[in-house]
Amino acid sequence: MNFIVVGCGRVGAELSYRLFKNGHQVVIIDSDQKAFNRLHPDFRGRVVEGEALSSDSLERAGIDKSDGVAVVTNSDTMNAVIGHTIRVHYPNVKQVIVRNYDPAMREMLEAFGLQIVSSTAWGAERVQELLIDPSFRAVFSAGNGEVEMYEMYISPKWDGLTISNLLDECSNTICAALTRAGRAELPTPNSKLKSGDILTVSATLEGVKALRAKLQEGKEA
Give per-residue pLDDT as tens, 122-131. 567 667 777 8
Q: Once rounded to an integer, what is the mean pLDDT over residues 91-106?
A: 85
Distance CA 37, CA 35 (A): 5
- The reported pLDDT for the residue numbered 59 is 95
For the chain, residues classed under CATH 3.30.70.1450 are 150-220
Averaged pLDDT score across all residues of the chain? 86
The pLDDT value given to residue 111: 77
Contacts of 13 (CB under 8 A, 6+ apart): 28, 35, 38, 39, 40
| pLDDT confidence of residue 122 | 57
Q: Is residue 49 pLDDT above 80, yes or no?
A: yes
150-220 is classed CATH 2.130.10.10: no
Question: Which pLDDT value is given to residue 90?
Answer: 94
Choice between 10 and 29, residue whose per-residue pLDDT is larger? 29
What is the per-residue pLDDT for 55? 92
CATH 3.40.50.720 domain locations along the chain: 2-134
pLDDT in tens, 143-191: 666 788 888 888 888 889 999 998 888 888 999 999 987 788 999 999 9
Q: In which band, very low, low, confident or very high, does the pLDDT at 219 lie, cut at 50, 70 and 90?
A: low
Among residues 125, 155, 132, 147, which one has the least CA distance to residue 215? 155
Beta strands at 2-6 and 25-30: parallel, antiparallel or unpaired: parallel
Higher pLDDT residue, 60 or 104? 60
Q: At what angle do helices 124-132 and 10-21 cross, to 10 degrees?
A: 50
pLDDT at 123: 65
Fold that domain 2-134 belongs to in CATH: Rossmann fold (3.40.50)
Please state, for a pLDDT cut of 70, what percent of the chain lies above it.
91
Quote the CA–CA distance of 42 and 49 in Å, as a whole number.
19
CA 93 from centre of chain: 13
pLDDT in tens, 72-97: 999 989 999 999 999 999 999 988 98
Beta strands in the chain (DSSP E): 2-6, 25-30, 46-49, 68-71, 95-100, 115-118, 136-142, 147-153, 173-180, 183-185, 198-204
- What would the mean pLDDT of 125-145 be, rounded to a whole number? 72
